Amino acid sequence: MTQFFNKITDLFIPGRLCLFGEHSDWAAEYRQVNPRIAPGYAVVVGTNQGIYARVKVDDQLIFKTVNNSQVFKLAMTEAKLLSMAQTGNFYSYIAGVAYQAKVHYQVGGLKIDNYLMDLPLKKGLSSSAAICVLVARAFNQLYKLGLAIAEEMELAYQGERTTASQCGRLDQACAYGNQPILMTFEGNSQTVKPLMVGRDLYLVIVDLAGSKDTRKILSQLHQCYPVAQSPWQAQVQNYLGNINQNLVQQAVKAIEAGDAVEIGNLMSQAQGEFDRYLIPACPSELNAPRLHQLLDHPPLQPYIYGGKGVGSQGDGTAQIITPNSDTQAKAIEIIEQDFPSMKCYPLNIANTNSD
């Protein structure tokens, strides 16, 4: 037992980048009350940046992070965990997952030392979901729960939904790491299909150094469901349903072929369709002048194939795809020179072909 308690496990959980299909996860949940709504589809991949931690078994729930000198400690009782989860602060995510693990698996506590975090926070890269997956995986590995990745994702999802978060189901896809996956959403269920990658892909994630109100975006878009009350609400449902499905199906083929040119074309097409159909639902947030200034920046065009917004969209984060590592570096140089407040993060997706 002493050896069990003293074992230290190293974990790394990346952020999550939705390459295609943002918002389609929660939209498809409305199929439960309106079956005419189309299923949701998304292509998701883990970022190269993430959350690093050393974890071990403990009697309490203890969380230490590089972002705060305070060490969080909480007794592993269902009442205390649930109470903390509903506070809405950073530690609510940790307590929410611990609460679900306690209820469903009767686990003890954890000591988590988050000694490094290079994942940008609140930038549409699912930093909160990464924390939840980290806690779920720690419980799974240290208490030998035998959970598959999809089950870890479900534990993390239920933990995050125990808080005030209204996250969709694609956020926890960071559990799959740097493996691109196709996610399909049907009502309250999901399926996951890992994707092969035909060639190395070179992307750049760009923190636009802008501002957006994610809650307002989601609130306005949710008003379009479950039954559209106006033509523009019907357009939102059409984009997040049939149009998105077609774009994602084409993107899957391009990724498996390693066709960066086509991926770039599809990103630009997706952004154009998003602007056409979704901006009317929340123009104050989705007009996104900084995003479009970046995507249309003339000096950048020779070095990229295309790009689009990330997450809920707005002026939070962008993604662009480049031909190779040299053009990736050049694109980063141009962005950081011409837009000094913006910050770039390379994302390399490796070829999975065995030959």
pLDDT tens digits for range 108-167: 999 999 999 998 777 777 888 999 999 999 999 999 999 999 999 999 999 999 998 877
Angle at 284 between CA 281 and CA 288, to 5 degrees: 100
201-349 has CATH 3.30.1370.160 classification: no
pLDDT of residue 167: 75
Residue 212 CA: distances (Å) to CA of 71, 87, 191: 30, 23, 30
Whether 336 shows a pLDDT value over 70: the answer reads yes
- Burial degree of 58 (CB within 10 A; 0-12, 13-18, 19+): middle
* Token output for 245: 């499905």
Mean pLDDT of 24-35: 94
Task: Give 287 or 188, the one with higher predicted confidence.
Answer: 287
The secondary structure of residue 243, as a DSSP letter, is I
pLDDT tens digits for range 44-91: 999 989 999 999 999 999 999 998 888 999 999 999 999 999 998 889
pLDDT of residue 276: 97
Q: Report the distance separating Cα 35 and Cα 51, nearest Å.
A: 38
What is the CATH architecture assignment of 2-194?
Answer: 2-Layer Sandwich (3.30)
* Token output for 186: 């049907």
Angle at 119 between CA 297 and CA 219, to 5 degrees: 75
Lowest mean per-residue pLDDT among 87-96, 315-324, 346-355: 346-355
pLDDT of residue 311: 81
pLDDT of residue 35: 94
Whether 42 shows a pLDDT value over 60: the answer reads yes
- Biggest CA pair distance of the chain: 64
pLDDT of residue 1: 43
pTM of the prediction? 0.87
pLDDT tens digits for range 292-306: 999 999 999 999 999
- Which residues of the chain does CATH 3.30.70.890 include? 201-349
What are the residues whose beta carbons fall under 8 Å from the beta carbon of 333, sequence distance 6 or more? none
pLDDT tens digits for range 177-233: 888 999 999 988 889 999 999 999 999 999 999 888 888 998 899 999 999 999 999
In the 3-class helix/strand/coil scheme, how is 317-340 assigned residue by residue? EEEEEECCHHHHHHHHHHHHHHCC
- Which residues of the chain does CATH 3.30.230.10 include? 2-194
